């Protein structure tokens, strides 16, 4: 993994500070001569901007906010094809929320150095909407490549733990994703293969995807009379 993939927005500021302090400590001279990865700094800056945008939308709308980002390595997050897939998935998720009767409002869509992000505010209570977001990540076709975060009306993030759920699983093995990221348990090749399989799965179900307001994986299995093992990706 690229090491910065799958850090929540919530951890951005903390990570940036930690990064800076570590560099200062290691260099012993204020960090002036230490080379800092420019790409990493751009990504961290983009995340900080996104965090600020979330806070300002919540403050303005006085509602809960859903933020959707891509949960794949940076190489794919900044890829045009993935951006298009992302927008289709977001559009579908939005339709699902409307279909289920939630009062939602599309707020913004940005494209930055950390990839795309979509912001949707909702009048639904934060914990209730978080449950629906988790369900979408796990059941919508391709939902596994989305990170759907929720912020409550006071600007506090609502995580899986707040609704009594365990941390999100890695999409390759059964471990919590954070463990695989921090211990770098999977090779870049292994991750790429899995991401490309997910992309294929989304594309091959594009038709169902466009016409169904709630394209659950089980529906597609039923309609297509099962898909081959090759296309099955552990959700």
Q: Tell the smallest beta-carbon distance from residue 170 to Zn ion (Å).
A: 3
Please state, in angstroms and rounded to a whole number, the distance separating the CA atoms of residues 130 and 173. 24
Site for Zn ion in 164-183 (CB under 5 A): 170, 172-173, 175, 180
192 interacts with Zn ion by CB under 5 A: no
Please state, in angstroms and rounded to a whole number, the distance separating the CA atoms of residues 168 and 183. 16
Pairing type for strands 115-122 and 157-158 reads unpaired
Nearer to Zn ion, 170 or 220 (CB): 170
HEC profile for 122-155?
ECCCHHHHHHHHHHHHHHECCHHHEEEEEECCCC
C-beta separation of 97 from 122 below 8 A? yes
C-beta separation of 112 from 169 below 8 A? no
Nearer to Zn ion, 17 or 183 (CB): 183
- When CB distances to Zn ion are compared, the closest residue is 170
Q: Tell the smallest beta-carbon distance from residue 235 to Zn ion (Å).
A: 13
Nearer to Zn ion, 89 or 170 (CB): 170
Q: Per-residue x/- mask for Zn ion, residues 129 to 168, rule CB under 5 A? A: ----------------------------------------
Which residues of this chain interact with Zn ion, rule CB under 5 A?
Answer: 170, 172-173, 175, 180
């Amino acid at each position: 993994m690229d090491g910065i993939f799958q850090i929540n927005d919530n951890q951005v500021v903390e990570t940036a500070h930690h990064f800076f302090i570590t560099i200062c400590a290691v260099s012993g001279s204020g960090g002036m001569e230490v080379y800092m990865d420019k790409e990493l700094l751009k990504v961290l800056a983009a995340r900080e901007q996104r965090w600020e945008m979330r806070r300002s939308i919540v403050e303005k709308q006085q509602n809960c906010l859903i933020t959707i980002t891509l949960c794949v390595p940076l190489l794919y997050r900044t890829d045009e094809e993935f951006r298009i897939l992302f927008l289709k998935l977001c559009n579908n998720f939005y339709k699902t929320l409307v279909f289920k009767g939630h009062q939602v409002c599309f707020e913004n869509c940005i494209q930055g150095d950390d990839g795309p992000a979509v912001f949707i505010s909702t009048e639904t209570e934060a914990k209730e909407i978080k449950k629906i977001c988790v369900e979408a990540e796990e059941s919508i076709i391709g939902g596994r490549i989305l990170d759907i975060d929720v912020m409550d009306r006071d600007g506090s993030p609502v995580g899986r733990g707040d609704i009594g759920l365990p941390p999100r699983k890695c999409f390759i093995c059964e471990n919590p994703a954070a463990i695989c990221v921090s211990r770098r348990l999977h090779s870049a090749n292994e991750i790429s293969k899995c991401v490309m399989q997910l992309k294929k799965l989304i594309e091959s179900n594009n038709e169902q995807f466009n016409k169904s307001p709630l394209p659950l994986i089980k529906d597609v299995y039923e309609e297509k009379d099962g898909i081959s093992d090759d296309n099955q990706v552990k959700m």
